[in-house]
Structures are given as structure tokens and as C-alpha cells.
Structure 1
């Protein structure tokens, strides 16, 4: 009797050691779907892949399930790799759905060559008029930057459905072609909530809040995306009171906010100093057990700091499981702005020790901290390290901080030389910082130069005239004081009384 080879024996043993369901593709397909529906993709995908790799003969449905899983987990390259492996399997044939997934993967990976190859393959096997495939082609060519080809595919379709139109609409919005998007929106035979939300988001992302609000007001139906897009548009354009009032309307409409909504609302609260509202939002998050992820945690840190509650800002920051450069920058800026200069610098040192590269915002906080506690040499060291160590080109805000550091320390000539060496024209903030230092140290000569430049930039701001008048008064130069008052009369300058922002509709959540 012939003995089986060791290889055959090994395979037989390996195969027989697996459960019977490994040979039932219907059961395996249901198991894979269950895995993906019950677990986050970062947990489900590795487990599903190990299961998939052990399947002796996966069918086309199982291949499609895995290709789609990688596409949904933002790994289009692996989707394409699986497609190429699928073609090598005997007895397994791709369908139009397979090709539509692969075309999407090509578009998202910007692989033009493979995309055109797959397109030609689809035409050869007779899938050219398939609705799934045509929709994927629209998205792919749009992501390649070929909007004309994408639009031609849409226009040449015999019976395009709403999904096709929405894909084209979304691609126009993604690249900022809002006029083309609106033209298509007007021509669409029908629209759904996705269509309206896409246009609202498009105008909002371009900063055209008025156009976004007109569309928002016209919608017959609104969901969480509609409300969140509009609230975010107001918050980003610094129309914070409008954002908070719209959030109140959202609550009256019984639409439950999500993390995206909360981030925008907290930004608005910080902008207008609405601490009470911000605390209620925080309580709502905790009461409803909404996960405080990196973005939401950073928003809470920033809101509390801007509203003057640095203790709660630190408390939230210290509880965060993960902290990126934005979170560190928020707490450094908050501490610096509240006069905790040494603590701000300590946090900066901790950030560096955790090997997180600082950004330009973190350096504004660090330089502000140095200014508050009078660390001239250390401030200059941080300033020069921006470009020398971290490859960050200082912006005008960083130069302004250094001018303030020199000015507060009485090093007015150094401040003036720094202004002259700047690679851009000084703004009003920088000249005002120098003028303020001139008042403290009674330097009339530099004050004259600063005010000439400042009045060119801000001829109607009363505070500039008042500041210069105080400098002349200190030096008992009464003729110039009188001259300043004449100038204010000539340009009709009146001292403006102070104003404050008030929380709008301090509503409960």
C-alpha cells in the first residue's frame, strides 16, 4: 500500500482540524457580517482577516465582504491587493459590485493607472452600464481631479438615480466648486436630505454662512448633520451667539446633539465667555456618557481656559487618555493667558519630553508666558528654536510676542530692531505693543515713530490717541497733548465706552 506523502498528510490533518463551518461559505459570510456589525473596525478587521485567510475556498461574496471592509476602514490599497488575489483563484469570478468597490479604492488611493485598467476591464466584461459601476466611476474620476469626465459619465447615464447625483454633488463640494454644485443641485430631478446637507456643508465650509442658512431654512427635514453643519458654520465664522441660539432651537426640535455638535457649541461658548452654558454642555456629555475623545476633550480644555476657569481646564486635560499637539497647545495657551507662566512652560517641557512636536500655537503660548514673567533670554531662545530646531517659520504673532517681551523688560531698542528685521510689515498689534512699552518707560522718541505707523493702520481707534496723549502728559509735553486732542476732533474720534458679551439664552440641556 502506497504511503501518503508528508505534505498530503499535513494538509489533511490541518484541514480536518478546522470546524465544519470553515467549509460552508454561507455560514462564513454570515459570520463575517456579524463580526463587522458588532465590533469597531480596528478590532473586527484583524480578526475577520485571520478568519478569511483560513477559509479554503472563499466565494465571490466573501471576497467582496473583505474588499469592502478594507475600503470602509480607509485602507484602499489592501482592497486593491485583495482584488488582484481574487483574480488568481480558480472558479471565483468578480461581479459588478466587486469592480465598483475596487474603482472606489482606486479613486481614494489616487491610483489613476489601476483605475483606468479596472475601468477597461469592466467595459470588456459588459458591466459598462451597471448602475453601481457608473456611480463608482463618477467618484473615482472626480477624485482623480477629472471632474469633466465624472460629469460626462453622469450626463450619459440612461437612468441615473439619486445616489449618482449625490456622489457628483459631494465631489463638487469637496473640491470647492460650489457654483457647479449649486447648478447640479438646481437641475436634480429630485433631492433628499443628503442633497440638502451636502449643499449646506458646502457653503458652510467656504465661510458663506448666509447662503448656508438660506438652504437650511428651506429644508423641509433636518437631521443631526443639518443642525451640526449650520452650528459649525456660525462657530467658525465667530458668530458665536448665533451658534448658541441655533443650538437652543435644535434642542427645542428634539434633535439629540452628537460629539460634532458639542465641539462647535463649546467653541462658541469659549469665544463669548459663556461659562455657564459650557458647563451645562459638559454635564450633558457626562450624563449621557458621551465618549470624551481627543477632539472633544481638547474643546473642553479650550472652552474652560477661554472662559477663565483654568482649574477645570487643567482637570479635563489631566484626565485625557490621549493628548496631541492641539490639546497641549490649548492648555499652554490657557495657562499663559491666565498669568501662570511657569506652569505653562512646565507643560511645554512635558510635551517635548513626550516627543510631541510643538506647533506655532504652542509657541505663542510659550512666548506669552515668557512675556508675563519677564524671561527675556529664555523667550529669545524659544523664539530662535522655532526655525532652528523645529522648522517652524515664525509668524507675525510670534514677532509680536517678542516685541512685547523686549518692551516689558525696557529693551525698547531691541524691540525696534526686531520690528525692522521682520520679513513682513508690522501690524497694529505690534506697534501698539511698542507704544505701550514707550508709555511705561517714557520713551517719547520711539512713541512718535510707533504712533505714525499705528495711525496709518488704525486712524479711527480712540485708544491709540489716548495712549499717545498719556505718553506726552507723562513727559509734560502739553503742546503735543493739545495737538492730539485737535487731531481727535478733526477725525471725529470719541472715546468709546467699554462693552461686554452676555450669555444668550442660558438654556438647559
Structure 2
């Protein structure tokens, strides 16, 4: 083989054997087989080596074989060579540990490192520690990571203070969910390289529940103040932090720094900018950056598709896929999975089936990530039979696959089946498993199953205050108890938590408010506002607090809530303002409800319905009719509640012709079937107008038992 063939990457094994090749050429051939993943040729070279050499006593060639097999994902062959090697050196151990880690066998990699650490002949090098820490990070094994950290501290200074080892420690702690330990390692580093700053920033962005996002922004400022130039990895991490933090202001500042650095042309950085603007709702800026990119990697296209999907531009996201095809760029599995997510959000089953077929045509249907995305798409589109079929045909299922199937069953109303599938899981459950199953229990109202899952979580994590138990699990548990009408149990879960976010507070306030514990709900709201500075009330908080005020008839507290809302960003939220109106109506102040309605810029059908009810309650029947007609003129179709409101107004105002017209138009014009309440209002109206016979005829003709009609309506026709 000539030197030019080596340079071109040609992997050719001499047919006559390898005796004519020097050690350097053999090493080059083995490396080429690994780099090109040419396993058959690598095995051929191995056989010819074994025919001329006793590889058990040749660490150099054995190590190269282990490296080649690892890169070709042939772990049994790599392990066989490693096991047979009599005199293993540090390189042998390191290469085998790295091969296991790179091929998804992180637990075995950790076990092998611990065997190396106890070896009396070979001692771990800094490369050994870095590989072992990477394995701990991959499988989120914090306890092994802590154990290895202790060994690093006891190692010679050349290892303990090695910047690469320290960076690996920061990354391990960050991925294992211990931000405080990652920060301690970082702060103790005598010399912080740009790689160390980047690792610490990444650790922060991975742990938002531990205050990582604002910490990442502050860390970036410290880097700037120290006069250290950020690289692409720093910018990618801090852009991610700004996006997750929801801070457009910070994102724009960082974008400005990127422009100053000249790294805006870096394809990965540009893609991160697109991602940041997309997640912050500025699709215009995201696509402006994308359109200006000179070099668009496939990852950038995927990011642009995700940005459009995140902002509800589903058609544009799919159009980008077709544009990708027109430009001759073959989409990868990530592209099609992003489009599947679009189909899920849009519930576009036709497009979803096409993408499913395309994944199959590319041979990716057996991939666990692709299969899981297909299951999720069918579940979100309500096609549970297809979701089950894909799930059952998958040869390999990870925990995400099981979670997707459980969620699909719950989403389509098959809650009992979802819980049963959860119990059949043959893989260790994670936080999403618990949340999906608890959600099914909540929908089914199955307190017994919910308590069993609660007990399982406690047994696994020792307590709900465990620092690695996600708040999402606790929130799902609170919601489950709330939906099962166990507000006191929900509060017990809440009280046991050390980490609470706004969803935690909302779920517990809702548990009280929705189960008639209105005073307790408002007390908890006050506690949230006055004692927890880390959270701010959002739209859900205000809706539940207003519901509690309405339940108690506490108009003073309701007015205070209205004042707070008016001064917040939720003053234009339709659901919140409808809740304000409803609270005033239920507290006996329809005039205040009407004033709120008059100040609304965006009025939904619910807004009009509440305004009609408020006006009817005031006795202004003609005004209620005007509002009803105004609602229809706005293009909003009245529902059952709106008709109940207008018929009530007509009944109490004696507007017989208008009331009868509204009643007959319900089914004819709007497809709304009259209920007992509507018949009751019309019968009452006929009775009040002296049309007793007509009222009795309607009473006998209606598709309900007379018992369902209000006593007032019955009295009016006697």
C-alpha cells in the first residue's frame, strides 16, 4: 500500500499477508478500519495479524485492535482482545473503558474502571479518570461519580489538578443533576480554561430547577468581566440559557457580543441564535438569521423547522422540509422527527402517516427514537390502534417509548389501560413515567392506583424532598390528589417539598379551590405572594384565586386581585379577565363585571356570555338582548351557556317573542340542543305571559322529565 493510498483513506489488506508491512503501516491500516467503520476488513487484518504474531503479548497491536473494534461498535470482539491480552498497560484499560462508554455500555465502563483502580500493576491515568467520569455522566450515576472524584482527590497532583480532569468532573456533576458540586469543582480550579467556563455554563443550563439559568447568565458576565474571549461553545450554552430563561433582552445582548466576536458566521452558533429567537417567540428574527446563513448545515434546517413549529407556523415548518428536498439535501432522522412533532401539535394525521412511511423507506423505523416519535404522533392524533401497533412491533423500547405509549393511552381516554401498561414496564421508570401514570390516575379518579405510585416514588427516592426528584413528579402527584378530591393529601405533598415552582403552588391552590376549600386556597395564595420571592403568580394562579373568592362571595379580596391583575402582564389574558368578570357576577356585583367587559380589547365567546349573564342579573333584559345580538354580529356562535343567559333575561323581562325566537334558533341556526335549563326558562316565560296552555304543552313535549324543570317554572303555569 502506498503512502498516497493511506492519505486517501483506502483500506486494503495485502493478500499475501502482512509480513511485508512495517508497524507504522499496520497501525495506519487498523486506524483506517476504525475511522471508516470497516469491520469486515478490520477482522481480516486481525486474522492475518494473529497468524503471524501472538497478540496476547503484543499490547501495541492489541490496543489498536481494541480501538478499531470499539469504533466499529463490535464490543464482543474488543472485549475478547482485551481479555486475552496478558500484559495490559494503561492504554489498554483506557481504550476499553472508552469503547464501552462510546457504545452505550456506561455501567460496564464504570465497573471496568473500578477494576483498574484496584489493579496492583497498572495505575489509572488522567485519561482513565476522564473516560470513567464520562461514563458516569452518560448513565447519570452520581454515586459512582462521587466515588471516582474521591479517588481523583487522592491521586497525584498531576491528575488531581489536571484541567481536563476538572472539566470532566464539572460535566459529570452537571449531567448528574448536582449543580452545587459542579460549581465547587469549578471554583476550586486554580486555572480556568475556556473549556472549563464552557463546561460550567453547560452544567448550569442543564439544571434550571437548581437556579442554573440565572447562574449561567451571571457566569457569562463574569467571563466577560475577566476579559476572556468566549468561544462557540460558550455562546451556544449561554444562548440556550437565555432561551430557557425566557429573556429576550439577554438574548439580544449575547447576539450583539457574537456579532462583535465574528462568530456569527459559525454554523453551530448561528443555529443556536435561530433556536434562541424561536423559543423566545421572535420567529421573524430567527428566520432573518437563518436566511442570512451562508453555510446551512442540516442541523440549522432542523432548528429552523423546530422554531416555526414552536411558534405555531406548522405549514411553514413542513414547507421547509419540502425546500430541503428541492435543494437536494437529504433530511436526517432528526428532521423527520421534528416534522412528526409538528404533525402531533397540529394533529395532522395525513401528514403524519406520510412521514411515518418516509421513515420506513429510510430504514429508520427500528430506531428507538424514531419509533417513539411515531407512537407519540399517533397518540396525539387520537389514533390509539396505530400507536399500539407501532409500539408492539418495536424490538427495542427505552423508557421514553413506554412513557409515550402510556401518555397516548391516557390522552385518548384509555386511562385504566395506561395504568396497567405502567405496571407492566420491564425497564426502570423515570420521572416522566411517574408523571404519565399519575396523570392517568387523575383523569380516572383512581385514588388507590395513585397512592400505590406515590408509595413507589417514596420507596425509590426515600422522600419527596430528594434533590434529584423533579418538581414535575411532585406537581403531578398534587394534581392527582386534587382530581381525586383529596385536597388535604395534596397539601401534605406540598408541605414536604423543598423545591417549589409556580406550577407546584398552582396545583395546590387548585386542589383547595376545586374541592371547596376556598379559604385555604386564598391563604395559600397569600403565602405564595408574601413568602416565596422565587415565584410570581401567573394566569393559572389568578384564575384559581378568583374562583376561591367567587366561592366565598369575598368581593373585597376579589377587587384586590383585580387590581393586581390590572398591574400585571395578565391584564390582557382572556381567560384571566373572564374569571374576573365571573367573580364579580358570582359576588353579586354585575355592574363591575360589565365595566370589565367594556374595557376588554379581545372578547371571546365566554366574555360575551358572562356579560349577558351579568346584564340579566341586573334586570336589564333589553340590554342583554343587545349584547346577545352583538355577540352574533362579531361572528361568535353562542353556546348552551349563552342561550341560558339570554333566555333567563327574556324570562325575567317578559320578552316573549324574543325569548321564543332565541329558543327556536338554538338547534336550527346554531346546532345547540336545548337542555332542561332552557326549557325551564321558556316555560317560565310563557307562564308569566299568561300562556299557560302553551307552557303546559311545551312541558309535556319536552324530552325531559318534568322533575328536571325548576320549581319556579312549574309554579308560573299553575
Normalising to structure 1: TM-score of the pair?
0.68
Q: For 1:369 and 1:274, how far apart are their aligned partners in 2? A: 25
Counterparts of 1:206-355 in structure 2 under 5 Å? 207=485, 209=487, 211-254=489-532, 255-355=535-635
Q: For 2:690 and 2:368, how far apart are their aligned partners in 1? A: 80
Cα gap change, 1:50 to 1:177, in 2 (>3 Å): farther
User: Does residue 426 of structure 2 align to residue 137 of structure 1?
Assistant: no
Q: Tell me which of 424, 433, 437 is aligned to 1:165.
A: 433
Tell whether the 8 Å contact from 1:235 to 1:264 is kept in structure 2 after alignment.
yes
User: Does residue 456 of structure 2 align to residue 187 of structure 1?
Assistant: yes
The number of residue pairs the alignment matches comes to 412
> How far off its partner does 1:306 sit?
2.3
Q: For 1:26 and 1:334, how far apart are their aligned partners in 2? A: 56
Q: Tell me which of 274, 277, 282 is aligned to 1:35.
A: 277
Normalising to structure 2: TM-score of the pair?
0.50
Which secondary structure does the structure 2 equivalent of 1:427 belong to? helix
Other-structure match for 2:383: none
Cα gap change, 1:180 to 1:123, in 2 (>3 Å): farther
The one-character-per-residue Cα deviations of 1:416-461 (angstroms, maximum 9, x if unpaired) are: 22221110113365234322x36xxxxxxx4xxxxxxxxxxxxxxx
> How far off its partner does 1:318 sit?
1.2
Q: For 2:530 and 2:625, how far apart are their aligned partners in 1? A: 44
Tell whether the 8 Å contact from 2:571 to 2:577 is kept in structure 1 after alignment.
no
Q: For 1:88 and 1:195, how far apart are their aligned partners in 2? A: 44
Q: For 1:171 and 1:307, how far apart are their aligned partners in 2? A: 33
Tell whether the 8 Å contact from 2:274 to 2:307 is kept in structure 1 after alignment.
no
Cα gap change, 1:289 to 1:324, in 2 (>3 Å): closer
Cα gap change, 1:390 to 1:130, in 2 (>3 Å): closer
More contact order relative to length (CA 8 Å, sep ≥ 6)? 1
Cα gap change, 1:206 to 1:196, in 2 (>3 Å): same
Q: For 1:154 and 1:91, how far apart are their aligned partners in 2? A: 42
The one-character-per-residue Cα deviations of 1:293-328 (angstroms, maximum 9, x if unpaired) are: 111111112222222323322221111111011000
Which secondary structure does the structure 2 equivalent of 1:389 belong to? helix
Q: For 2:578 and 2:493, how far apart are their aligned partners in 1? A: 31
Tell whether the 8 Å contact from 2:442 to 2:481 is kept in structure 1 after alignment.
no
Cα gap change, 1:75 to 1:182, in 2 (>3 Å): farther
Q: Tell me which of 94, 98, 102 is aligned to 2:332.
A: 94
Other-structure match for 2:697: 417
Cα gap change, 1:217 to 1:422, in 2 (>3 Å): farther
User: Does residue 348 of structure 2 align to residue 68 of structure 1?
Assistant: no
Q: For 2:655 and 2:510, how far apart are their aligned partners in 1? A: 39
> RMSD over aligned Cα, in angstroms?
4.0
Counterparts of 1:344-383 in structure 2 under 5 Å? 344-383=624-663
Tell whether the 8 Å contact from 1:243 to 1:268 is kept in structure 2 after alignment.
yes
Tell whether the 8 Å contact from 2:372 to 2:404 is kept in structure 1 after alignment.
no
The one-character-per-residue Cα deviations of 1:25-78 (angstroms, maximum 9, x if unpaired) are: 2342243134235x4x2xx22443455356454213313322332443356676
Q: For 1:98 and 1:337, how far apart are their aligned partners in 2? A: 56
The one-character-per-residue Cα deviations of 1:359-414 (angstroms, maximum 9, x if unpaired) are: 11111111111112111222111111111111110111111111221222233333
Other-structure match for 1:488: none
Q: For 1:355 and 1:91, how far apart are their aligned partners in 2? A: 45
Gaps (5+ residues) in structure 1?
A: 1-19, 439-445, 447-509
User: Does residue 267 of structure 2 align to residue 25 of structure 1?
Assistant: yes
Tell whether the 8 Å contact from 1:329 to 1:362 is kept in structure 2 after alignment.
yes
> How far off its partner does 1:122 sit?
4.2
Which secondary structure does the structure 2 equivalent of 1:308 belong to? coil
Which secondary structure does the structure 1 equivalent of 2:619 belong to? coil
> How far off its partner does 1:149 sit?
12
Q: For 1:177 and 1:82, how far apart are their aligned partners in 2? A: 43
Q: For 2:358 and 2:450, how far apart are their aligned partners in 1? A: 29
Tell whether the 8 Å contact from 2:487 to 2:511 is kept in structure 1 after alignment.
yes
Q: For 1:116 and 1:210, how far apart are their aligned partners in 2? A: 50
> How far off its partner does 1:246 sit?
3.1
Cα gap change, 1:431 to 1:60, in 2 (>3 Å): same
> How far off its partner does 1:193 sit?
1.4
Q: For 2:666 and 2:553, how far apart are their aligned partners in 1? A: 31
> How far off its partner does 1:150 sit?
11
Which secondary structure does the structure 2 equivalent of 1:388 belong to? helix
Structure possessing the higher radius of gyration over alpha carbons: 2
Cα gap change, 1:398 to 1:177, in 2 (>3 Å): closer
> How far off its partner does 1:92 sit?
6.5
Gaps (5+ residues) in structure 2?
A: 1-261, 374-396, 411-416, 462-468
Tell whether the 8 Å contact from 1:142 to 1:171 is kept in structure 2 after alignment.
no
Counterparts of 1:352-501 in structure 2 under 5 Å? 352-427=632-707, 430-435=710-715, 437=716, 446=718
The one-character-per-residue Cα deviations of 1:272-311 (angstroms, maximum 9, x if unpaired) are: 3211011100111233454331111111122222223233
Tell whether the 8 Å contact from 1:363 to 1:398 is kept in structure 2 after alignment.
yes
